[in-house]
Each structure stands twice: as C-alpha cells, then as structure tokens.
Structure 1
C-alpha cells in the first residue's frame, strides 16, 4: 500500500490486527512501526519473516523510508534523516496510528531517535536496535579490529570513509557484521538506490544527535549485540547516557552481532516482545 505523506509517497505493509475480540467487546493492541536501515541499500523486507512474530502481541507496520524500497525515491539531494523522522510522525497521524511503538534498526536507530526528539511524547515507546546517535569512525574501526582483525578493520575504515573497495573486499566486511546476516536472496528483495547510498553515507558520517536526546519523552529500549562492530555496545551506552534519566534501558545480547535477532533469537525476542507488550493499545 502507498499513502502520500509529507510531500512524498510512502509504501507500507501491515501484519496483525490492532483490535482483537475480547468477549463481547474488542481490545486494542499496540502498533509497532518498523524503521529499517540503509541508506539506499535496504528496505523493510529484511525484517520479514522474523518480525512477524511480534504480530502475536501487536499490529506490525513495515514502512519503507522515502528513497528506499517501494516508496518514492524523489530527489536524492533533498533526502535527510530529519525528513525521514518527520515522515514517521506524519505517516502515523495520516493512517490513524496513535501512540506507536517505533523500532529502528541500524540507520533506523538515529531516525527513530530524531523522531522521538523532534516530536516528544508522540510515541508510546522507542526501540533502538543496533543503532547509534553519533557516527564515530575510530570506534567502528576498533570494533571491526576486535571481531575480525587488522585487515578487515582497514577495509571497513576505507569503505565507510567513502573510499573504493572491491565487491570481494566489502563481502569480507559484511561477513564480519555478526554470526548471521540477511543472505543474498533476502537482500535481493530490496531495490538498491545507489545514488541515495552515496549521498546518505555523507550525511551518516556527520551524524551527531547526542545533544538532542534529552528532548525524548518516550520510554526507550536500546538493544546492542555483544559482537556488533558496526554499532558496538559503546554506541548503545552513549545513547542511554544522553537520554533523560529513567527513560532508557539497555540490553546487551550475548552472541549477537548487527542483526541480533538472527544471531541470538532465544535472547533477543523475549526482550523485544516484553517491551512491546508493556504498552496498552
């Protein structure tokens, strides 16, 4: 489905009902809005089918960010994280989602945090899954060095700095994201916006929204994989430290990499499911 939101058309899909029968009446369940990573290289589809299990306790909305997947791509130069954050607010208001639980993975993490900071209290809750609030190249390189050695760390440094690396070299970096990651078949579902990838990475390299996080008013769950070199545990700790006191909780998943739900599902899903379940509809 597509809707026109904030000057563009956004594609979304829905799994699970917001209302369920409860005796002679209906009971409202929370609605989860999933915000994927990127930029330009992913869309909602790598969440499927895994995040469908949240439909047992909530309605799940898969949203393609502007410039990604099946949403309109538009002008690359006009794309920004802030615009995507505002899109979440406008999208929810348009389709009638009150008090969403917004879960952002990877690049979806700072976008979800910006949404929370720019629209305080609009979300019932925020979940930051392998996310970051500040791009720190040295932190990233050292994390790759820790999990994959000096050679892969140097490849990661070059790639994330925008320098040319071969497909085989990038494959070595990607393989170090964690024990498991979306395979080629799953990644092939995502149309790749190469122009946005280049522009978006320039913006990512400048991300530092730490000083905005004190405006967030929604309870926030921050989940980090112990083995994640892209958004290491220290990046998650930085988010928690910057959020208002009492707002955030941190969960470090043992054995988890960047795609924590694939690496350690038996630890990841109870954490996230209970967080979602804690909100009334």
Structure 2
C-alpha cells in the first residue's frame, strides 16, 4: 500500500509517494509541469516504486533550478528512504535528470529515459530534411507559443481553467490560484543546454539504459512538418550509441505515460528483468 510523505531534512521539502515492499527500488521522476501522480497508472509488478515531486512542482518546495541541486534533491530522497542504488526512471524532464544521475553515478544499476532527449524548441540543426526557411518560421511560431504559455503560468488561473491541471499542481497565493511551476522556474529550465539537448550527455552514460521515443506528434502539435523533422533528428542522433543503451519506439506521443501506461510498464519491466535481475 503506497503512502505519501514529505522529506524535511533537506534544504527544501521533498514530497514523495512510496509504494513500499521488498522489491528492488525504482525512483520515478515526472516531466516539466507534472507531479508524482503522473506515475500512478504504472504497474511495475513487485518493484518498490518511489515517485518524487521535483522542486517547484507538486507539494515539494521551491528553489532555483540548478541541475546539481536537482541531483542533490534526488540524493536526499535516496538517503532518507534507504534506497541504496535505485534504478531511476524519468519522463521528459525527468528523463533528462535520469541521464545526469547516471553520469554522477556510473555504477547505477540502470536508468530509463521516456522521451527526455531534447526540447521541441532546439537547435535548427536538429530538424533535418526540412526547408530552412520553413523550419525557421515554424521554430519562431513554436517559440511564440512557448512564450505565451510561460506568461500564462505567471497569471492567476480563472476557475474554468483550473480543471485542466491536477489539484496537486495548484497553489494559492494572495487569495488567487496559480499553477506550478511558476514562470521563473520555467524560464530557468527552458534555455539550459541540458534541457535543449540531452543526447550528447546520453552518449556518455555507462550504465544499462533504456530510451523510449514516441512515433507520434505531441498533443496539440499534430500534423506539423516540424515535429516530423524533429523525430528524424532524434533518430539520426540515436543511431550510433554504445551497446549499454537500448532504444525502443512506442506508438504514442510525448504523453506516453498517460496514453500507453501498460505498454510503458511492459518495456520498463522487460528492461529491469534483463538488466538488473
């Protein structure tokens, strides 16, 4: 039976959901704007799963987004719960953190990266096979859309929009309801090299690694030539990886945890059985 707790012996409070049990532990890290509840649909059999609200998300505390500090947050969870050397699985932003974790812990028993490879708003060279002028126009549109989303996160949420966010992602300030993370944290993350492109770091990972990439467009971005080119770039750059890194494609979009939880669980379970015993 899972239970929620807050770790307070750290520089910021960290909220976690621990399934308990004696199985080998798997630490679960959600994506940007998500919460630990993103992992609720996932069933990893008898594994002990520990899902974390990242800093600035869910019920965890606030703090500047520095990648070393995020890894220190994860270290605090591992130490507090006595997880020793867990497998670390992450979706999107969480997958990027899993890659950085593996670089800090080369003896890690394994990591899973669910489409946490690069931002859709990336270097123009990451969209091969697309007319440069059309590519630049589409990237400008994408930037404008992300700018608008970030600005909206800095405003109080009207009642009709609150249902679009999980309750865990909402917070009250001065009598108004806001979504987490706030606009400051979004901007801190958005332009870091690690967020824009994690694949160069992935190539340095030494531990067993499962990477899952989607074959479909992200929700709300369907039918675009830019996303087709984006996937071509990802496949191109994953073509020559060391043998410890396994890449699987899934018939889903970026929201694979929500859309295909059983398929994701099957891939992770097979990886855990192969790689970690």
TM-score by length of 1: 0.70
Which residue of structure 2 aligns with residue 221 of structure 1? Answer: 210
Q: State the alpha-carbon separation in 2 of the partners of residues 164 and 12 from structure 1.
A: 27
Which residue of structure 2 aligns with residue 22 of structure 1? Answer: none
Which residue of structure 2 aligns with residue 47 of structure 1? Answer: 39
Q: State the alpha-carbon separation in 2 of the partners of residues 13 and 62 from structure 1.
A: 5
Name which of 269, 272, 276 aligns with 1:276: 272
1:68 partnered with 2:60: no
Residues 126, 234 of structure 2: 8 Å contact kept: no
Distance 1:205 1:63, change over 3 A: closer
Q: State the alpha-carbon separation in 2 of the partners of residues 266 and 209 from structure 1.
A: 26
Which residue of structure 2 aligns with residue 103 of structure 1? Answer: 89
TM-score by length of 2: 0.71
Q: State the alpha-carbon separation in 1 of the partners of residues 72 and 100 from structure 2.
A: 8
Q: State the alpha-carbon separation in 1 of the partners of residues 9 and 235 from structure 2.
A: 31
Residues 141, 153 of structure 1: 8 Å contact kept: no
Give the drift of 1:165.
8.5
Name which of 178, 190, 195 aligns with 2:169: 190
Which residue of structure 2 aligns with residue 8 of structure 1? Answer: 12
Give the drift of 1:222.
0.3
Which string of whole-angstrom CA distances, capped at 9 and with x for unpartnered residues, describes residues 15-73 of structure 1? 141x2xxxxxxxxx2211111111xx22212222x12x12x230111101122211111
Residues 58, 276 of structure 1: 8 Å contact kept: no
Give the drift of 1:209.
4.5
Give secondary structure in 1 for the equivalent of 2:62. Answer: coil
Q: Which runs of 5+ in 1 are unaligned?
A: 20-28, 144-149, 168-182
Which residue of structure 2 aligns with residue 23 of structure 1? Answer: none
After superposition, where does 1:125-164 map in structure 2 within 5 Å?
Answer: 125-133=110-118, 136-138=122-124, 155-160=141-146, 162=147
Which string of whole-angstrom CA distances, capped at 9 and with x for unpartnered residues, describes residues 189-241 of structure 1? 31313231232223368644444445422100000110144774643663574
Q: State the alpha-carbon separation in 2 of the partners of residues 198 and 166 from structure 1.
A: 10
1:88 partnered with 2:74: yes
Distance 1:268 1:107, change over 3 A: same
User: Number of paired residues?
Assistant: 240
Residues 150, 186 of structure 2: 8 Å contact kept: no
Which residue of structure 2 aligns with residue 251 of structure 1? Answer: 248
Distance 1:236 1:83, change over 3 A: farther
Which string of whole-angstrom CA distances, capped at 9 and with x for unpartnered residues, describes residues 106-155 of structure 1? 1111111111112211x211000011157625478889xxxxxx998764
